[in-house]
Amino acid sequence: MSLRKLNLQDLAFAGKRAFVRVDFNVPLKEGVIQDDTRIQAALPTLKFILEAGGAVIAASHLGRPKGQVVDSLRMAPVAERLQQSLPQFTVLQAGDVAGEEAAEAAAKLQPGQLLLLENLRFEAGETKNDPALAQRLASMADIFVQDAFGTCHRAHASTAGVPAILKPAVSGFLLEREIDAFRSALDQPKRPVVGITGGAKVSDKIPVLKNLIEKVDTILVGGGMAYTFLQVQGLSTGNSLVETERLQDAKEILALAEAAGVRFLLPSDHVIADRFAEDAASQTVEGNIPDGWMGLDIGPKTLATYQAAIAEAGTVIWNGPMGVFEMEAFRQGSLGVAQALAASDCVSVVGGGDSVSAIKMSGLADQVSHISTGGGAFLEMLEGKELPGIAALDDYRVVQA
C-alpha cells in the first residue's frame, strides 16, 4: 500500500461538492457533547473546502446503533456545535443518511454550505460495506475526502465503498498528518529508531513486534506483556500476568530480534503488588518476582535504562503503557517515558488509547511530535497491515502538463 496519497491541495474545490468522511463520534450525555476535540480536529479540512468555494457533505458515525435509528444518537448536537464553530458558513442537517431527504439536500447545496448527514450507522449497510448504500452516498458528491483516520481500518461503505466509486478520492489534513507521521517514523526515519510497546498481553502485540523488528534498532517492552518474555528467559514472575499459550511466540520474537541485531530490552526491576488494587501493598524488586506478588509497573532502574535509550533516539514510536497507569501507585513508568519523550528532540509518534491517555495525563502531550487519533488504525499500521480506508484513496502522482 502506497502511503503517499493525493490531498486537498492537489484539487480545485470551487463549485464542487465534497463528500467528507469525518470522525464526529463524540461523547454525549443527555444530548450534550462532553468533548468536541474530534469536531475541532476536522475544522481545518472543512474550512479549506468551504473557503475554496466548495460545498461539503459531512458523514460520520456516532456510537453503536447497530443499523437501527436510535434517537439519543442523532447528529443534531454535532450539527449545532459545527454551526457554532463555523459561524461564517451555513450548516444544514439531513434527516436521513442516504434517502430522498439527504439526496435532495445534497443536490441543492450551494458553495460555502455544509450538509451533515444523519448517523451513518443508522444504516445496517454501513458496516457491511453494502454496494447499494455506497452508491447512494457517492452519487451526492463530486469528490471524496477521507479525514477519519480512526475508521480507516474498517472496510465500511463510507470508508472503502464510496471512494472506490467516487473519484478523485483524497486525504484530508488530519489523515495527511497521520500518514506523514508514519512515513517519517517507519519509512524514512531518523535513526536510531526506538519502538516502545506495552499493555497487558503479548497476543495483542505479536504482529506489531514482528513488524517493528524489521524497522527499528531498539525495542523497549513494558506492561503485563513483559512477564511472558521474562518467563521465557527463566525468571520467576510470581502472580504476574503470563500468557502461557504464547511462550513459544515470545521465544520466536526474541530469536527474530537477536537475528536482526535489534536490542530487545525487558524490565530488570519491577514495582510489584500483593493484589491488583489501588491500595495494594507494593514494593520494588530486581530480577525474580516472589510468589504471591505481581508486577504492575517497571521499576526505577528499568525506567532509567529506557529513558537513556529514548534520549539517544532519532525516532521513537510508542504504543502501550509501561504499567497499570490508571492506578497512581503504578504509573511512574509510563509518566517517566512521557517525560523522556518530551525532553528529547527526536521525532516522537504516540498512538493507541492507553498510550495517548498516559501522555495526556503527564501534561506533556504538546511536546511530542505526533499523537495519533486512531487506536485500532494506529495499531494495524504498526502491524504493517493495509488499511482499507487509505488503500481506497488515489495515490499521489505528478500530473504532466
Q: Catalytic amino acids?
A: 38, 201, 353, 376
- For 30: left if phi > 0, alpha if psi spans -120 to 50, otherwise beta; the answer is left
- For 346: left if phi > 0, alpha if psi spans -120 to 50, otherwise beta; the answer is beta
Q: How far out from the chain centre does Cα 215 lie?
A: 19
Preceding amide of 168 cis, omega within 30: yes
Neighbours of 252 (CB within 10 A): 15
373 Cβ contact list (under 8 Å, min separation 6): 23, 38, 41, 149, 150, 174, 178
Inter-residue long-range contacts of 244-252, CB under 8 Å, 24+ positions, other chains counted:
246/201, 246/202, 246/203, 246/206, 249/202, 249/203, 249/206, 250/202
Cell of 178: 497521520
504509573: which residue's cell?
331
Q: How far out from the chain centre does Cα 325 lie?
A: 19
Q: In DSSP terms, which residues pair with 272 in a beta bridge? A: 283, 295
Yes or no: say if 388 and 153 are a contact pair by the CB < 8 Å rule.
yes
254 Cβ contact list (under 8 Å, min separation 6): 229, 232, 233, 264
- For 251: left if phi > 0, alpha if psi spans -120 to 50, otherwise beta; the answer is alpha
